[in-house]
Amino acid sequence: MNARTAAQSAPARPLRVLIATDTYPPDVNGTSYFTGRLATGLAERGNEVHIACPSTEGPAARLVVDGTCEHRLRSAPLPVHPTMRVSLPRRLDRLVAELRPDVVHAQGHFVVGRAAIGAARRAGVPVVATNHFMPDNLFQFAHIPTKLRGRVGRIAWRDLNRIFSRADHVTTPTRIAAELLSRQGFPGEVEPVSCGIDLTRFHPFAEPKSWARKSISLPERPTILFVGRLDEEKRLDDLVRALPFVLNETDAQIAFVGRGNRREHLERLAARIGVGDRVRFLGFVPDQAMPQTFAAADVFAMPSIAELQSIATLEAMATGLPVVAADAMALPHLAIPGQNGFLFQPGDVHELGAHLTRLLTDDAMRAEMGRASRAIAMTHDHQTSLARFEQIYASVTR
Q: Taking the model in full, what pTM does it have?
A: 0.90
What percentage of the chain's residues is helix, strand, coil (to nearest 5)?
A: 45, 20, 35
Q: What is the pLDDT of residue 3?
A: 38
Q: How many CA atoms lie within 13 A of 130 on its CB side?
A: 27
Q: What pairing do the DSSP bridges indicate for beta strands 191-192 and 48-54?
A: unpaired
For residue range 313-367, what is the model confidence (pLDDT) as tens digits?
999 999 999 999 999 999 999 999 999 999 999 999 999 999 999 999 999 999 9
Q: How far is CA 83 from CA 24, 144, 173, 234, in A?
A: 12, 19, 24, 17
Pick from 282, 309, 310: nearest CA to 296: 282
* The dihedral sign for the CA sequence 261, 264, 270, 273: negative
Please tell me the class of the 3-196+381-397 domain: alpha beta
How many CB atoms lie under 10 A from the CB of residue 34? 24
Decide if 39 contacts 68 (C-beta within 8 A).
yes
Pick from 296, 23, 42: nearest CA to 137: 23
Main-chain dihedrals φ then ψ at residue 302, nearest 5 degrees: -135, 95
Rounded-to-integer distance, Cα 288 and Cα 230, Å: 20
Domain residues of the chain, as ranges? 3-196+381-397, 209-379
Superfamily in which the 209-379 domain is placed by CATH: Glycogen Phosphorylase B; (3.40.50.2000)
Confidence band for 79, pLDDT divided at 50, 70 and 90: low
Q: What angle do CA 50, 55, 56 make, to 5 degrees?
A: 120
User: What are 223's strand-pairing partners?
Assistant: 253
Confidence band for 2, pLDDT divided at 50, 70 and 90: very low
Cα-trace Rg, the chain: 21
Residue 152 has pLDDT above 90, yes or no: no
Confidence band for 87, pLDDT divided at 50, 70 and 90: confident
Asked if the domains 3-196+381-397 and 209-379 are classified in one and the same CATH topology, the answer is yes
